[in-house]
């Protein structure tokens, strides 16, 4: 379908003022389709002009001001006849349920056969549910009415009440919801099915958590933690913004199956992927991540829902603020006090990678020609880089001024749309400082600055001079930075000195506080990780890190070390084996729950892609040994999963096999469903288990998660027939859901199967344009993100990627994802060239 252009949106926003939507949905028409009626009241500033309304579905009838209109449709657009000053448009349609997570997604729970629906409208998928003017700056009040099976619960943006249901077979009930808004239609949702619900009231707001019936026991068990996090976060926001939650007295959060993203900030009814309702034991890092997601989506109630971007070039107004506040609130309102360390390794490493790649873009780009291009910017620049810029802005203005400016911004633009200029103008007015230049340097440019220490020593080994130099990306302006310089000694002594790098010039800045001190064993620029910049680590410092890291008291500072050591690996300046050796030496003493998971994932990535095959097994064995060392400590759950993915020797694999029998299991490591599937996946990959074992495990775990895991295992079978079947699912099957599609990609491309899948590498590049022609943007995101042959690191793969990118007919989503994946192949080639 054609993507709405910014020029079209500007024209339509000038022509129309939308007052209200009355949406009626009929969810009783079976497993394929649903009924939809959209009644839109709107004004036209130029009577006699015409426009169009979007609908991705089958229009049945339409009237404008009571007069039937011809259904002149082009793809997803219905052309309207000349408009009056005041108008009422009624469109009756039939929509189709999706399996992609876009529009009204339908999933069936294999545990009990129950169906669940989830409406996902962002960024332009409201039109898949009802006829609408699908752009963010045409806000309107939305009133929802739903007819659904009598035994279903229906949830929406507003509070809903069910009429007395019918009785008997096929009985239905009618749900009527209170009006909400004015709101952008991309924030619309409806969730329906036999949900299990728990509620709690706090400070005048009723909080609800909801999940599939088959997960009820898990929700009941975790409800206390979930409510505590939600209520503490809401209290924090209401205090910080001096404003009550702006959308009434209810706040629902729904765990939904097969959700395309992590979560979505629909007004009053946040939807969350139900993998985060844990059915197995998880390390604290997973719970910390879930806490951040809860706080992140709640921040959107102000940033995005109350004040909404005008167009998708200002996506950062939503996501950068939610990212910044999500981690901050978790660090201040929960037990996860090392949240910024988690942010540094979990979020900023992808941010540095994205901002140094060929698909980088400014945090606030000036050119987003259509919605399809806006969707591409839901990435690690709009999120962690933007959040890092906001941390800098808070440091520049001071906390009190920063939050006073946000309160003024909400007051001025509540229930309206805003732009970068509106935010920066408000902040400049409140602070008394013109922030235009700051915004231009931080938000309108690309690339990562490099900070370098220049030091001189006297005859006694003391600093006679210390300066911080800054290198901007090629062609970029000088960015201001507020940082700290950390002085660390192997004895455990440390200090941290604040330093300001102004935007007036690129001259090095002296640090006189360090003059006369003994030379540090580690002089860490960007100590505590206050800015978005790379820092150099010298060979001598790299050699001392195993000794130094356990003595460093701050998780964010340790994360800066890990982040920049990894940057050296990616640049081919430090062998991947050395990074793994550092992890083996330092992680057993790491107290923060958020740092080890990301570091270990990097180690696995190093083994899978940054090392040639002949060096891989030794690195996996080193990782398995590290996991064994961690099994007796606080990271034991994480260690068990790492061992399940990295075991390579006969002894390691025999240990895993014994765990499946309930033997030799370490204390505190439950061999539950998730760990069993991880072990089975490793055994299958190595040819030590097969279809019979997969079928038996699925019979014991006949759940949605079990089916996804079984699909991943089947794709990982080292068998030509199994690979061909997986390939059919990956490239040609139109019925496969988003979660199943991702599992196929994860299982298919295994480094152990390089010879078996070698012939599929050129096939991927040849067949991708064909599958892209009919897949939705959401499924394309999965097909390229998980299906790309990223473990086939070779010059041939790089050449095939370049050849594909030379075509001029690639969809924006395909081109962006291939550009990124192709760049990672080239990074891996450079990393492999490093001498061990």
Q: For residue range 710-720, what is the model confidence (pLDDT) as tens digits?
A: 999 999 999 99
Q: What is the DSSP letter of 44?
A: E
Cβ pair 63, 39 in contact under 8 A: no
- Inform me whether the pLDDT recorded for 167 exceeds 90: no
Give start and end residues of each alpha helix (H) in 686-794. 691-700, 704-715, 720-731, 738-748, 754-757, 760-772, 777-785
For residue 53, what is the domain's CATH number? Answer: 2.60.40.1730
Helix H or strand E encompassing 396: helix 386-397
**From 116-120, 231-235, 348-352, 771-775, the region with the lowest mean pLDDT:** 771-775
pLDDT for residue 543:
95
**Taking CA 743 as the corner, what is the angle to CA 742 and CA 748, rounded to the nearest 5 degrees?**
105
pLDDT for residue 708:
97
Task: Report yes or no on 678 lying in a domain.
Answer: no
| Three-state DSSP state, 196 | strand
State the total domains in the chain: 2
- Strand 67-68 with 58-64, pairing: antiparallel
Q: What ranges make up the beta strands (E) of 490-590?
A: 494-501, 509-510, 522-525, 533-535
Nearest to 580 by CA among 529, 639, 621, 528: 621
Whether residue 13 is found in the same domain as residue 138: yes
Whether residue 188 is found in the same domain as residue 313: no
Reply yes or no on whether 166 is catalytic. Answer: no
Residue 388 CA, distance from chain mean position = 16
Phi and psi for 821 in degrees, rounded to 5?
Answer: -65, -40
pLDDT for residue 113:
97
Give mean pLDDT, residues 392-411.
96
Cβ pair 566, 580 in contact under 8 A: no
Q: What is the DSSP letter of 98?
A: B
pLDDT for residue 20:
98
Contacts of 218 (CB under 8 A, 6+ apart): 211, 277, 278, 279
Task: Report yes or no on 18 lying in a domain.
Answer: yes
Contacts of 692 (CB under 8 A, 6+ apart): none
pLDDT for residue 358:
96
Contacts of 303 (CB under 8 A, 6+ apart): 317, 318, 321, 322, 325
Own/partner contacts of 537-544, CB < 8 Å, gap of 24 or more, are 537/561, 537/564, 537/565, 537/568, 542/568, 542/574, 542/578, 544/490
Which residue shows structure tokens 């099976």? Answer: 149
* Measured CA distances, 723 to 713, 760, 784 (Å): 11, 9, 18
Residue 738 CA, distance from chain mean position = 15
pLDDT for residue 133:
98
Helix H or strand E encompassing 645: helix 636-646
pLDDT for residue 25:
98
Which residue shows structure tokens 């039939």? Answer: 94
- Inform me whether the pLDDT recorded for 166 exceeds 90: no
Angle between helices 650-660 and 636-646 (to 10 degrees): 120
Task: Report yes or no on 392 lying in a domain.
Answer: yes
User: What percent of the chain clears pLDDT 70, i.e. is strictly above it?
Assistant: 100
Nearest to 421 by CA among 522, 286, 577, 311: 311
Task: Report yes or no on 67 lying in a domain.
Answer: yes
Nearest to 106 by CA among 94, 119, 97, 114: 97
Give mean pLDDT, residues 232-255.
97
State the residue range of the domain holding 131: 6-194
Identify any residues that bridge with 132 across adjacent strands, giving them in sequence order: 54
pLDDT in tens, 154-163: 999 999 999 8
- Inform me whether the pLDDT recorded for 477 exceeds 90: no
CA distance 665 to 495: 43
Angle between helices 315-333 and 284-299 (to 10 degrees): 130
Q: What is the DSSP letter of 692?
A: H
Nearest to 98 by CA among 738, 774, 659: 738
- CB count, 10 Å around CB of 522? 25
Contacts of 64 (CB under 8 A, 6+ apart): 80, 81, 83, 87, 88, 89
CA distance 30 to 415: 37
pLDDT in tens, 479-498: 999 999 999 999 999 999 99
Task: Report yes or no on 713 lying in a domain.
Answer: no
Q: Using the 3D structure, point to which of 379, 411, 443 is the last residue of a domain.
A: 443
Which two tokens mark 175? 């749900």
Task: Report yes or no on 150 lying in a domain.
Answer: yes
| Three-state DSSP state, 416 | coil
485-510 CB burial, b ≥16 within 10 A, e <16 = bbbbbeeeebebeebebeeeeeebbe
- Inform me whether the pLDDT recorded for 806 exceeds 80: yes
Which two tokens mark 360? 């980088």
Total residues belonging to the chain: 836
Q: Using the 3D structure, point to which of 396, 418, 443 is the last residue of a domain.
A: 443
For residue 411, what is the domain's CATH number? Answer: 1.10.390.10
Nearest to 644 by CA among 609, 688, 700: 688
Q: Residue 345, by phi and psi: left (phi above 0), alpha (psi -120 to 50) or beta?
A: alpha
Give 476's pLDDT tier (boundaries 50, 70, 90). Answer: confident
Angle between helices 539-548 and 555-570 (to 10 degrees): 140
CA distance 765 to 804: 7
- Inform me whether the pLDDT recorded for 506 exceeds 80: no
Whether residue 13 is found in the same domain as residue 139: yes
pLDDT for residue 347:
96
Q: Using the 3D structure, point to which of 150, 170, 194 is the last residue of a domain.
A: 194
Whether residue 177 is found in the same domain as residue 322: no
- Inform me whether the pLDDT recorded for 801 exceeds 90: yes
pLDDT for residue 648:
97
CA distance 508 to 470: 7
The residue from 24, 102, 265, 297 that is catalytic is: 297
Q: What is the DSSP letter of 303?
A: B
pLDDT in tens, 75-117: 899 999 999 999 999 999 999 999 999 999 999 999 999 999 9
Task: Report yes or no on 247 lying in a domain.
Answer: no
- Inform me whether the pLDDT recorded for 503 exceeds 90: no
pLDDT for residue 56:
95
Which two tokens mark 46? 């130029």
Task: Report yes or no on 13 lying in a domain.
Answer: yes
- CB count, 10 Å around CB of 566? 23
């Amino acid at each position: 379908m054609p993507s709405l252009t910014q020029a079209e949106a500007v024209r339509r926003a000038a022509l129309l003022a939308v007052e209200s939507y009355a949406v009626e949905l009929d969810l009783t028409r079976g497993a394929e389709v649903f009924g939809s009626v959209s009644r839109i009241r709107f004004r036209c500033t130029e009577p006699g002009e015409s426009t169009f309304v979007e609908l991705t579905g089958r229009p049945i009838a339409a009237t404008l001001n009571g007069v039937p209109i011809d259904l002149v449709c082009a793809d997803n657009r219905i052309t309207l006849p000349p408009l009056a000053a005041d108008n009422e448009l009624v469109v009756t349609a039939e929509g189709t349920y999706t399996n992609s997570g876009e529009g009204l997604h339908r999933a069936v729970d294999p545990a009990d056969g129950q169906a669940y629906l989830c409406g996902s409208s962002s960024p332009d998928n409201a039109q898949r549910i009802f006829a609408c003017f699908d752009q963010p700056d045409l806000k309107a009040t939305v009133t929802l009415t739903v007819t659904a099976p009598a035994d279903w619960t229906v949830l929406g943006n507003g509070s809903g009440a069910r009429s007395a249901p019918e009785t008997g077979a096929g009985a239905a009930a009618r749900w009527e919801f209170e009006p909400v808004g004015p709101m952008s239609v991309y924030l619309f949702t409806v969730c329906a099915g036999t949900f299990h619900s728990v509620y709690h009231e706090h400070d005048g707001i009723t909080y609800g958590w909801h999940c599939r019936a088959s997960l009820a026991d898990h929700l009941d068990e975790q409800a206390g933690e979930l409510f505590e996090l939600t209520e503490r976060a809401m209290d924090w926001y209401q205090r910080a913004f001096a404003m009550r939650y702006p959308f009434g007295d209810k706040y629902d959060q729904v765990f939904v199956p097969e959700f395309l993203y992590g979560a979505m900030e629909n007004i009053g009814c946040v939807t969350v992927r139900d993998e985060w309702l844990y059915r197995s034991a998880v390390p604290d890092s997973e719970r910390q991540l879930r806490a951040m997601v809860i706080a992140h989506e709640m921040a959107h109630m102000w940033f995005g829902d109350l004040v909404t971007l005008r167009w998708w070039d200002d996506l950062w107004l939503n996501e950068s603020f939610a990212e910044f506040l999500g981690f901050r609130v978790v660090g201040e309102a929960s037990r996860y006090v090392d949240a910024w360390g988690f942010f540094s390794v979990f979020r900023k490493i992808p941010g540095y990678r994205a901002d140094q790649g060929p698909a980088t873009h400014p945090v606030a780009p000036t050119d987003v020609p259509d919605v399809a291009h806006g969707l591409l910017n839901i990435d690690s620049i709009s999120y962690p880089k933007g959040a890092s810029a906001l941390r800098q802005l808070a440091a520049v203005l001071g906390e009190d001024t920063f939050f006073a400016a946000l309160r003024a911004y909400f007051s001025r633009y509540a229930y309206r749309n805003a732009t970068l200029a509106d935010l920066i103008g408000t902040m400049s007015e409140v602070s008394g400082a013109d922030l235009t230049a700051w915004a231009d340097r931080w938000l309108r440019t690309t690339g990562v600055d490099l900070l370098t220490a220049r030091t001189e020593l006297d005859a006694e080994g003391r600093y006679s001079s210390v300066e911080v130099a800054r290198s901007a990306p090629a062609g970029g302006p000088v960015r201001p930075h507020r940082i700290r310089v950390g002085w660390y000694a192997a004895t455990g002594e440390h200090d941290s000195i604040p330093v300001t790098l102004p935007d007036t010039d690129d001259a090095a800045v002296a640090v006189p506080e360090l003059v006369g001190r003994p030379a540090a064993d580690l002089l860490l620029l960007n100590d505590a990780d206050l800015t978005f910049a790379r820092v150099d680590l010298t060979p001598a410092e790299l050699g001392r890190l195993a000794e130094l890291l356990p003595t460093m008291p701050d998780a964010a500072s340790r994360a800066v070390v890990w982040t920049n050591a990894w940057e050296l690996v990616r640049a081919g300046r430090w062998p991947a084996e050395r990074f793994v050796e550092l992890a083996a030496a330092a992680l057993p003493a790491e107290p923060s729950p958020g740092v080890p998971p990301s570091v270990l994932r990097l180690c696995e990535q190093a083994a899978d892609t940054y090392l040639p095959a002949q060096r891989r097994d030794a690195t996996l064995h080193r990782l398995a040994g590290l996991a064994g060392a961690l099994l007796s400590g606080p990271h034991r759950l994480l260690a068990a999963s790492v061992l399940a993915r990295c075991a390579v020797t006969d002894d390691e694999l025999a240990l895993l096999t014994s765990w499946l029998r309930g033997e030799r299991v370490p204390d505190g490591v439950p061999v539950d469903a998730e760990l069993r599937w991880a072990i089975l996946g490793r055994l299958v990959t190595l040819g030590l288990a097969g279809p019979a074992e997969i079928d038996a495990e699925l019979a014991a775990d006949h759940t949605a998660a079990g089916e996804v895991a079984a699909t991943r295992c089947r794709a990982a079978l080292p068998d030509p027939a199994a690979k061909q079947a997986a390939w059919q699912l990956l490239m040609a099957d139109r019925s496969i859901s988003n979660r199943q599609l991702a599992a196929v990609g994860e299982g298919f491309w295994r480094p152990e199967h390089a010879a078996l899948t070698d012939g599929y590498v050129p096939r991927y590049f040849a067949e991708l344009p064909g599958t892209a022609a009919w897949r939705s943007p959401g499924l394309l995101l999965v097909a390229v993100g998980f299906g790309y042959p990223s473990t086939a690191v070779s010059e041939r793969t790089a050449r095939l990627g370049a050849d594909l990118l030379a075509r001029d007919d690639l969809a924006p989503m395909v081109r962006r994802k291939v550009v990124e994946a192709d760049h990672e192949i080239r990074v891996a080639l450079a990393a492999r060239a490093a001498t061990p």
